Structure 1
Amino acid sequence: MASIGFGSKGIAGRTLQWLEHRLGLIQPLAQAATHPTPANNASWLYVFGSAATVLLILQVMTGILLGLVYSPSANEAWGSLQLLNHYAPLGWYLRALHGWGSNFMVAVVIIHLVQVFLFGAYKFPRELTWMVGVLLLLLTLGMAFTGQVLRFDQDAYWGLGIGASIVSRVPLVGAPLVHLLLGGPILGAATLSRFFALHVFVIPGLLLAGVGVHVWMVLRHGVSDWPMPGRIVTKATYEREYHELTDKTGIPFVPDAAWKDAVFAMAILFAVMACAFFFGPFGPGGPPDPTIIQTAPKPDAAFLWIFSVLSLLPPSLETPVILIAPVLIIAAMLLLPVFAAEGERHWARRPVAVLTLAIVAISLGIFTHLGTYTPWSPVMDAWASDPVPVKYLRNRTPLQCQGALVLQYKQCRNCHALDGAGGMRGPALDTVASRMTEDQMIRQVLQGGGNMPAYGNALSPAETKALVSFLVTLRNNYQAPAIDASRSLGTMVAGSSRPQQEQSGRLP
């Protein structure tokens, strides 16, 4: 029994000694794992970097398994995901793990970056560590976006078209970049292969390399100590003070500090598994169809704020904001430690940093929330089976009641709310008669406009007449019906001239 033990004289011990003699990796890895770290940073607020690394490993493992079934072909991609969702044993759960793992990874990386910013851990000598972290965040977002494209459903198809339109606006190199991404000037057979290569090979390779560099720099410079008010970072003294602190209060990272990282990482993994089990995978939605142009593609949660900002921008500002704002934001994040390498680290002594973080967080939250329900994100839950509320049918003529039936059967409430129920892509109809005249309603129904498609070919003249007859009754009792200002002005002018004409005797 002793011959197969784990001691230095057992088979396992001799095998480890043989490998160590030839590779020389075990001892450096052990030294790295047990490197001393200040006792004051063995905190639950320092666990997000390790959790992000564990989630990256999960993404790589589940991605490899998905790659065994997924077919990066425009004709077969959607079908291969249906195979995983409905026929492959636990294929749906594998897809769900990968999808929810992506969302959790984006969230954890962002939280980790926020924690580093709030703790001033980007200051000397960790400037390059911060810069690599910013690039890792961009790569993580790139993984999330290319993963959505690989679903290749209706949302992915049109979302990719929007992304290509944004890239095409880059001066001088816009068209070559579009050709590089799409494999041609438009979405074609080569497009999905390009994004498959990005998602499976290019971005993961850069991520793994970046994580390696990031971890190496953390080991080289140490984990930043807990920020204390009044402890100023200066290039002349910080490293000496840090090593003195480590020598005085240092504890080995493994196991004294790492157990919190391990517990938090396991909790995150269980959360991903639970979300995958209870909520299932993301999509795919309907198969991509370029002939369906009246659609409202919506990105995944990480990009909803961009979706909202672009939807709210006036057309004249789209190109300047798209081309300038991202460059300025990324440049500011990368250059932050260059201009703020020294000084206070504690958040209580850095009110500008705290205020900036609060403004950014609130703005992202508001725009993300807007992206879930605003007019460009229709709530398609008001089907023809939902009856028109009774209060809108009282004291109506037969023609107006027929219009209410048209409203219901033509599923107008997919996009328009009535009495608080229905879609939110278009404006609510409760007071539409106080905003639009009868002629304006007819023109809007037949010709469309804004987000609304034209229904001139979908409604007969009788249905249009009945529908508008019902709509003109929808206003509050205290609101006057809408009027045509131009006609009112003409009537006033004609009325004011009549007495003069009568006095001059020109009227009979």
Structure 2
Amino acid sequence: MSWLRKTYDWIEQRVQLEEPVKDAALHPVPRSTASWWYVFGSAATTLLILQVVTGILLALVYVPSASEAWKSLDELNHQIYLGWFLRAMHGWGSNFMVAVVLIHMAQVFLFGAYKFPRELTWVVGVFLLLMTLGMAFTGQVLRFDQDAYWGLGIGASIASRVPLIGGALVNLLLGGPIIAGATLSRFFTLHVFVIPGILLLCVALHIWMVLKLGINEWPMPGRVVRRSTYLQEYHDLAHKDGVPFVPDALWKDLIFSSAILAAVAVCAIVFGPYGPTGQPDPTIIQTVPKPDFFFLWLYAVLSYLPPSLETPFILIAPVVAICILLALPFVAGEGEKSWHRRPVAVLTLVIVAVAWAIFTHLATFTPWSPEMDAWSGDPVPEKIIHSAAPLELQGAVVFQAKQCRNCHAIGGMGGLRGPALDTVATRLTEDQLIRQVIQGGGNMPAYGKNLSPPEVTALVRFLGTLKPAGQLPAIDATQKQQAEIASPKQ
């Protein structure tokens, strides 16, 4: 075996990894931290590796094209040997990863592990949580089925509400004003390259800081963190009552990570992969799209909020929550770590967990904000069409038959996803209405391929009647000015 030793020595002389690896493996940790409470970080890293490996294998088959994405996933499910299992491992691995990261964050918060000198470790952990949620959302979009299509529409609608940059943000995410082939390319790039790259860099930095600063000791009541004395106290604790990380702490990490991988495999076998459901079709709106499990709470909150509070909540609440998480270690960087003497921290964690569970449960039967049964409700109000011309009546029939009221309300009846149309004729000219119907815009899909020219004409004529009595319809000021210039002066 001398040739193996010579090969090893030759490589080690050039890369010099032996000493750093030994330092990392044998560095002392407080004996109390070599427990089952400290295994969630390693499990999250293991699940990330699973996601990277299964994601690479899926990328060999998946085609990020509007016309081919659904077909490639269907092929994985039914034609490629164990393709369904690969998809199921990736999908359930994503759910487990989000769950483990959330539990790890809760444990770090409860144990006060964000306090000095681990403030930056906590900050990086917050970004890891956000990137993990970003991976989950972009992964759902790549399924590109009905749920993914409408879910992306909701996401684009939320992005469009950002002041000043909303429109540009939607174009950046979707690759244009509507959901199309460029949209999948953008989200494929985010899901496969951008977010995993950031995740891996953050994980490397997170692990580096854990190695350099040490694993947080067990939070004992009365053991107070002070910036002036903590580093020396931790050093003394780790060396006087410490054990090497390998093997005393590592074996628990390995057992727990193996159990998590086994649980993912069991779920994959028993429940199978996520979707895809029906092929995406913006004209089929008799559907109740819901996000994946960890976003259900947001779905329920937005369903229950009054329309006037929806936009403020979307724009303000996430920013406030992230700022609180980032500021926490700098505001409460000293003091008690033990949850026995931090009742406010315990109560906060309990309230958040209970609220999340309640809203997630409600989301299993909460209707989506567009009333998806609006097509079976009352017909177009009679007062709107009692004096309509034949072409306008035909447009009202198209409006009802194509189920436009699933997203738009008239007379207080209909969906809430799009704006109410009672005064649409005062906001948009006939040309603008035609363009909106045919090309779509914002979070409204394009219907140019699903309506014949006579249907578009009739629909726009009907929409042109939707204005308050006595109020003039919208006009194109440019055309009016040109007409005045062209007309002979009296």
- Range class of TM-score, shorter chain: 0.7 to 0.9
Say which SS state the counterpart of residue 251 (structure 1) adopts: strand
Displacement after TM superposition at 1:34 (Å): 1.5
Q: Deviations over 1:160-185 (max 9, x none)?
A: 01001101111111111111111112
The structure having more radius of gyration, on CA atoms, is: 1
Displacement after TM superposition at 1:12 (Å): 2.2
Match among 185, 195, 198 for residue 187 of structure 2: 195
What residue identity is the alignment partner of 2:91? G
Distance 2:37 2:356 in 1: 22
Partner of 1:451: none
8 A contact 1:167–1:174 mirrored in 2: yes
Distance 1:96 1:157 in 2: 20
Distance 1:310 1:247 in 2: 52
For residues 278-427 of structure 1, the aligned pairs below 5 Å read: 278-376=270-368
8 A contact 2:303–2:366 mirrored in 1: no
Say which SS state the counterpart of residue 29 (structure 2) adopts: strand
8 A contact 1:77–1:152 mirrored in 2: yes
| 2:117 counterpart of 1:131 | no
What residue identity is the alignment partner of 1:325? A
Runs of 4+ in 1 over 3 A off after TM superposition: 375-378, 443-448, 454-458
Match among 167, 173, 185 for residue 177 of structure 2: 185
8 A contact 1:445–1:455 mirrored in 2: no
What residue identity is the alignment partner of 2:271? F
Partner of 2:206: 214
Q: 1:248 to 1:294 in 2, by over 3 A?
A: same
Displacement after TM superposition at 1:26 (Å): 2.7
Q: 1:369 to 1:377 in 2, by over 3 A?
A: farther
Q: How many residues align?
A: 386
What residue identity is the alignment partner of 2:52? V
Partner of 1:267: 259
8 A contact 2:303–2:369 mirrored in 1: no
8 A contact 1:20–1:27 mirrored in 2: no
Q: Deviations over 1:81-107 (max 9, x none)?
A: 000000000000000000000000000
Partner of 1:114: 106
Q: Deviations over 1:136-169 (max 9, x none)?
A: 0000000000000000000000100100110111
Q: 1:292 to 1:272 in 2, by over 3 A?
A: same
Say which SS state the counterpart of residue 372 (structure 1) adopts: coil
Displacement after TM superposition at 1:445 (Å): 4.9
**Which one has more relative contact order, counting CA pairs under 8 Å at least 6 apart?**
2
Distance 2:365 2:288 in 1: 12
Q: 1:322 to 1:42 in 2, by over 3 A?
A: same
CA-based RMSD of the aligned residues comes to 2.1
Distance 1:457 1:234 in 2: 70
| 2:39 counterpart of 1:47 | yes
For residues 126-275 of structure 1, the aligned pairs below 5 Å read: 126-275=118-267
| 2:78 counterpart of 1:89 | no
Displacement after TM superposition at 1:283 (Å): 0.3
What residue identity is the alignment partner of 2:169? L
Distance 2:178 2:305 in 1: 25
Say which SS state the counterpart of residue 373 (structure 1) adopts: coil
Unaligned runs of 5+ in 2: 382-397, 403-490
What residue identity is the alignment partner of 1:216? W
Distance 1:447 1:209 in 2: 56
Displacement after TM superposition at 1:189 (Å): 1.7
Q: Deviations over 1:429-465 (max 9, x none)?
A: xxxxxxxxxxxxxx945459xxxxx99869xxxxxxx
8 A contact 1:298–1:377 mirrored in 2: no
Q: Deviations over 1:308-356 (max 9, x none)?
A: 1111111100111100000000000011001000000000100000101
Say which SS state the counterpart of residue 191 (structure 1) adopts: helix
What residue identity is the alignment partner of 2:72? S
Distance 1:180 1:446 in 2: 38
Identity %: 67
What residue identity is the alignment partner of 1:16? Y
Q: 1:161 to 1:444 in 2, by over 3 A?
A: closer
Displacement after TM superposition at 1:27 (Å): 2.2
Distance 1:64 1:126 in 2: 33
Distance 1:175 1:33 in 2: 50
Displacement after TM superposition at 1:187 (Å): 1.0
Distance 1:360 1:140 in 2: 19
Say which SS state the counterpart of residue 37 (structure 1) adopts: strand
Displacement after TM superposition at 1:30 (Å): 2.2
Say which SS state the counterpart of residue 285 (structure 1) adopts: coil
Q: 1:457 to 1:216 in 2, by over 3 A?
A: closer
Displacement after TM superposition at 1:376 (Å): 3.5
Distance 2:236 2:49 in 1: 35
Say which SS state the counterpart of residue 218 (structure 2) adopts: coil
8 A contact 1:307–1:371 mirrored in 2: yes
Distance 2:20 2:113 in 1: 26
TM-score, reference length from structure 2 = 0.76
TM-score, reference length from structure 1 = 0.73
Displacement after TM superposition at 1:239 (Å): 0.6
Q: Which stretch shifts more, 179-188 or 65-74?
A: 179-188
Distance 2:46 2:317 in 1: 32
Distance 1:164 1:190 in 2: 14
8 A contact 1:183–1:191 mirrored in 2: yes
8 A contact 1:296–1:377 mirrored in 2: no
Say which SS state the counterpart of residue 66 (structure 2) adopts: coil
